[in-house]
Amino acid sequence: MKTFLLGSTKRQVLEMIPECRIHKINLGDQVIALVRSQENFHAFQADCPHRGTSLVEGSLSSEHEVICPSHQYRFNLLTGEVKVGSCGDLEIYPTELTQEGLKVFISNDQ
Ligand code: FES
């Protein structure tokens, strides 16, 4: 498991990452997507499991789903489960907001 730290304080992270938008985040040689909802953060693979379209260009639903812009497949941000469409689930990454910044945990086989 690799741990990445975004920002250097909790306050900086909250200022740096506005709510209700999909952010593209570079972690080393990996790109992930990140959504903030109040003080909760949802990190997930940036490319759609269906055909690889960038989910950073997608949209968010009021049901905690990210919607792919290509074929409108929907994925639950909390579990990664595909809700509309037929493909694999979305890979999600645990996060933890601390006084030192936002930790993002990515398994080594990513
Ligand atoms: S590429 Fe995302 S739904 Fe088809």
23: in domain: yes
110: in domain: no
Probe residue for ligand 1, chosen from 22, 67, 70 as the CB with the greatest number of ligand atoms within 8 Å: 70
Q: Is the CB of 54 under 6 A from ligand 1?
A: no
10: in domain: yes
109: in domain: no
70: in domain: yes
CA of 61 to the centre of ligand 1 (A): 16
**What is the value of pTM for the model shown?**
0.95
pLDDT at residue 54, as a whole number: 98
Q: Are 3 and 103 in contact (CB under 8 A)?
A: yes
9: in domain: yes
31: in domain: yes
Domain total for the chain? 1
Task: List, for residues 40-96, the tens digit of each pLDDT value.
Answer: 999 999 999 999 999 999 999 999 999 999 999 999 999 999 999 999 999 999 999
Supply the range of the domain harboring residue 96: 2-104
Q: What is the DSSP string of 10-63?
A: HHHHHHHS-TTSEEEEEETTEEEEEEEETTEEEEEESB-TTT--BGGGSEE-TT
